[in-house]
Structure 1
Amino acid sequence: MPHHYRLIVSCPDRVGIVARVAGFIAAQNGSIIEASQHSDLDVGRFFMRYDIQSDTLSAEDFREAFASIAEAFEMTWRLSDSARRQRVVIMVSRESHCLVDLLYRWSVGELGCDIPCVISNHEELRSLVAWYGIAFHHVPVDSSDKAPAFAETERLIEAAQADSVVLARYMQILPPDVCQRYVGRVINIHHSFLPSFAGAKPYHQAFERGVKLIGATCHYVTEDLDAGPIIEQDIQRVSHCHTPQDLVRLGRDVEKAVLARGLRWHLQDRVLIQGNKTVVFS
């Protein structure tokens, strides 16, 4: 059977990168199934994502043979096996709409990942998760001392061998050491069009400001609250006739769609982080 890989590259921009990489793949009897490239002229950096098929070349041989090219072009790069399903741990509190949407998409094969468990600081969604045959872990968070809860949460994530973590309306702030340990691997959905209306009750903040557009933001989690690299955003038009409750209702639809797109692109290696920004080959 043919092997399918994804080659992800970021490096200083210069002439000859595409020719050298494409020539290498051809010399290895490989085929480029999909190619995405972007040059950031402001910072002089080049980004690349290739879907590759090869009948003979193993991942180990590819990495060994490609190392000299990567060194010559000062590449930050990785090669992933497209057939390997990533393991995604979902964290949630009481709001169920994002979790319900992700579990449905997972159940019909849309996300192409495994979900070993769901972690929650409340019990309300246990039966929903159990219906899908997924392990549910209740880890209550004591507001006066959150450290034990986060230590247990981190233990569960490690035990699940998670490649990525999704905060599907998990209404707790992860401690800095957890953010640092899983940098570029924790995805959050914020019910606001960041950077506006960060923090609690953004729809109520938006209502008080009289906005005409509301939105949602899928982003990577960093130590700075709601300020990590943005993966995806979308909006919904509203008017003076809408109440705060209407904004919440309309916002839920935007949130779940934005989170699903962001997670799918992340799982497909379509998101490349550059500083506090992203290149998304969607």
Structure 2
Amino acid sequence: MGNNENTWILTAQCPSCLGTVDVVTRFLAENSCYIVDIQSFDDRELNLFCIRVQFRPLNDEFNSDVFEQTFQARANKFDMTWSLTEPNHKTRVAIMVSKYDHCLNDLLYRYRTKALPINIAVIISNHPDLEALAEWHGIDYYHLPITAETKPQQEKRVLEVVQQYTCELVVLARYMQVLSADMCSKLSGKAINIHHSLLPGFKGAKPYHQAWDKGVKLVGATAHYVNDDLDEGPIITQGVQAVGHSHYPEDLVAKGQDIESQTLARAIKYHIEKRVFLFGSRTVVFAD
């Protein structure tokens, strides 16, 4: 879409029933709010409805507190959960990373050029390698090495740092550690991970080299919310690109890293623009 700097975002979900779209659109019209974009979906399998509306108040005296108080009364009748996001809101983000820096560099560039409306508040790593990169951007860096013995204490420290910097979103930008079930639970719906997607799947060391040995024809990446099933959380975005016999392992790695960076950035964009609805293990994503 075009420039929507002055638009608010209203998102809501509730059980499926008659009048769900009307309760939102009628309320906006009654309060002199012009709808710029609207997307909705009704999941007949789960009997759940969700809606995302971008709107622009036509009244200069628009008061978000009054809006929220009065809309809540309408929402209660539909057992509706909802949120209102103000224009130009920059989501505070904590990035977790290990040694691979391609996703981190991509996000730092998008942050620096304002291509993504985020505020990277802190970078956390289990290695010291990327501290200079964080320092160059003026971002605090926490080196929290992890061993089997220190993992519970270090995960606790990670959560303390995330809370200390009031981060709304945690991004695992090639963080090569498996999060505990407890940490996944505490970050549910608030942490996004990225990993390669190859068919067939290749686990362990050097997956792209394994893929080359098998002559794969597609490389890709998947961005998803973290859960306690490794790399199997609710999917937000996926990317894929065709490859052929002329691509050597290093070519597959390069293409894979490009796709990982783009797919992760797109997932973050959809999350912060409130385009993603979590329905248990599934997502509804209103792509732009």
Report the counterpart of residue 31 of structure 1 in structure 2: 34
Which digits, 9 at most, give the CA deviation of each residue in 1:108-138, with x for residues without a partner? 0011111111111111111111111111111
Aligned equivalents of 2:13, 2:23: Cα separation in 1: 14
Q: Alpha-carbon deviation of 1:17?
A: 1.8
Report the counterpart of residue 242 of structure 1 in structure 2: 247
Q: Does 1:213 align with 2:221?
A: no
Q: 2:43 aligns with which of 40, 44, 60?
A: 40
Which digits, 9 at most, give the CA deviation of each residue in 1:84-121, with x for residues without a partner? 22100111100010000000000000111111111111
Output the amino acid matched with 1:128.
Answer: L
Task: Give matches, 1:1-282, under 5 Å.
Answer: 4-54=7-57, 55-193=60-198, 196-197=201-202, 201-282=206-287
Which digits, 9 at most, give the CA deviation of each residue in 1:163-217, with x for residues without a partner? 0000000001111121111210100111225994466543244334432111000
Aligned equivalents of 1:68, 1:199: Cα separation in 2: 53
**What SS is found at the alignment partner of 1:222?**
coil
Structure 2 spans left out of the alignment, 5+ residues = none
Output the amino acid matched with 1:154.
Answer: L
Aligned equivalents of 1:51, 1:193: Cα separation in 2: 36
**What SS is found at the alignment partner of 2:100?**
coil
TM normalised by structure 2 equals: 0.90
Aligned equivalents of 1:240, 1:128: Cα separation in 2: 36
Mapped contact 2:107–2:265 kept (Cα < 8 A):
yes
Mapped contact 1:218–1:259 kept (Cα < 8 A):
yes
Which digits, 9 at most, give the CA deviation of each residue in 1:29-59, with x for residues without a partner? 2221221112223333221101122233322
Pair 208,76 (structure 1): closer, same or farther in 2 beyond 3 Å: farther
The percentage of counterpart residues that share the same residue type is: 42
Shifted more, 199-208 versus 213-222: the winner is 199-208
**What SS is found at the alignment partner of 1:114?**
strand
Pair 92,163 (structure 1): closer, same or farther in 2 beyond 3 Å: same
Which digits, 9 at most, give the CA deviation of each residue in 1:250-272, with x for residues without a partner? 10111001011111111111111
Mapped contact 1:216–1:234 kept (Cα < 8 A):
yes
Aligned equivalents of 2:200, 2:212: Cα separation in 1: 16
Aligned equivalents of 1:156, 1:43: Cα separation in 2: 37
Q: Alpha-carbon deviation of 1:152?
A: 1.6
Mapped contact 2:199–2:218 kept (Cα < 8 A):
no
Which digits, 9 at most, give the CA deviation of each residue in 1:232-258, with x for residues without a partner? 001121223433332212101110010
Output the amino acid matched with 1:40.
Answer: D
Pair 205,143 (structure 1): closer, same or farther in 2 beyond 3 Å: farther
CA RMSD, 1 decimal: 2.0
Aligned equivalents of 1:84, 1:65: Cα separation in 2: 22
